[in-house]
Amino acid sequence: MLFDSHTHLDDRKFDSDRDEVIKEIIDAGVTYALNAGADMDSSKRAIALSKEYPFIYASVGVHPSDAAYMTDEDIDTLRALAAEEKVVAIGEIGLDYHYDNTDKPAQKKWFDRQMRLAAELEMPVIIHDREAHGDCMEILSKYDLTKTGGVLHCFSGSLEMALKAIKMGMYISFAGPVTYKNSVNLKEIAASLPLERILIETDSPYLPPGAYRGQRNTSAYVGLVAEEIARLRGMNTEEVAKITLENAKRLFKIG
Ligand code: NI
């Protein structure tokens, strides 16, 4: 029983064998997966997958890398898409300052607009934060997240930031990088946060766990993230799988 709280099964990398991959994911014991939208088209594809497969849920939103091209009309479209039955969050949205040529003011503007949409719709948010911790926390802190909540996906900040986000109403999600040998800080954070605020994810097809580095990642490997967190905390994997599944169901109001 596993909940992959962040995957991109709509990605083009699955076009040639998506049905087989999804069968392997189900066989691996994944009982829930949230397919995150990353742009307008993938948000629609996420919804289509949620209609086709009972275990898949969807979120809609535009990733910061594409947010500079957003329009007011896109916000209206996202609002309409968010009304679809299995859409449970707005995301992934946020800030990504990794590339030098990025338009930071545009990213901030459209992150904030999508945060406002989530607040209006009273839906949780899925946050992408890469090398933008300060600005990201500043925008998040403008909103009352204690009721709707959200998740910092593929967390890459400090323990202090994680605890601050949890206080604001957020969950912290760990992906493949927590399994990498050199992720010393991340392992410490995964070992010390309250377990009832932790989610697990793959972010597939990206960021495969250590054992599959260099290969296409799929939601079938989410158990390896649970296993590593269990090892770090001296627990059994099933217990971590069960608690993180309950956490995700609570956050996304499923069942
Ligand atoms: Ni993602």
Q: What is the distance in A from the centroid of ligand 1 to the CA of 207?
A: 10
Report CA 76 to chain centroid distance, whole Å: 22
Q: What is the distance in A from the centroid of ligand 1 to the CA of 235?
A: 28
Report domain extents, the chain: 2-251
CA–CA separation, 196 and 240 (whole Å): 10
| Contact partners, residue 115, CB within 8 Å, separation at least 6 | 90, 93, 125, 139, 140, 142, 143
Per the CB < 8 A criterion, the answer to whether 6 and 92 are in contact is: yes
> Quick one: which of 88, 62, 33 has its CA closest to 204?
33
Q: What is the distance in A from the centroid of ligand 1 to the CA of 3?
A: 15
Q: What is the distance in A from the centroid of ligand 1 to the CA of 153?
A: 8
User: What is the residue-level pLDDT of the chain in tens, covering all 255 positions?
Assistant: 999 999 999 999 999 999 999 999 999 999 999 999 999 999 999 999 999 999 999 999 999 999 989 999 999 999 999 999 999 999 999 999 999 888 999 999 999 999 999 999 999 999 999 999 999 999 999 999 999 999 999 999 999 999 999 999 999 999 999 999 999 999 999 999 999 999 999 999 999 999 999 999 999 999 999 999 999 999 999 999 999 999 999 999 998
* pLDDT reported for residue 11: 98
Per the CB < 8 A criterion, the answer to whether 196 and 189 are in contact is: no
Q: What is the distance in A from the centroid of ligand 1 to the CA of 63?
A: 8
* pLDDT reported for residue 230: 98
Q: What is the distance in A from the centroid of ligand 1 to the CA of 123?
A: 18
Q: What is the distance in A from the centroid of ligand 1 to the CA of 109?
A: 20
Q: What is the distance in A from the centroid of ligand 1 to the CA of 41?
A: 14
Per the CB < 8 A criterion, the answer to whether 94 and 128 are in contact is: yes
> Quick one: which of 142, 219, 30, 2 has its CA closest to 150?
142
Helix (H) or strand (E) holding 96: strand 87-96
Per the CB < 8 A criterion, the answer to whether 155 and 173 are in contact is: yes
CA–CA separation, 21 and 35 (whole Å): 14
* pLDDT reported for residue 211: 93
Q: What is the distance in A from the centroid of ligand 1 to the CA of 72?
A: 23
Q: What is the distance in A from the centroid of ligand 1 to the CA of 232?
A: 24
* pLDDT reported for residue 87: 98
Q: What is the distance in A from the centroid of ligand 1 to the CA of 155?
A: 11
* pLDDT reported for residue 174: 98
Q: What is the distance in A from the centroid of ligand 1 to the CA of 5?
A: 10
Q: What is the distance in A from the centroid of ligand 1 to the CA of 39?
A: 11
Task: Give the class (CATH, top level) of 2-251.
Answer: alpha beta
* pLDDT reported for residue 101: 86
Q: What is the distance in A from the centroid of ligand 1 to the CA of 154?
A: 8
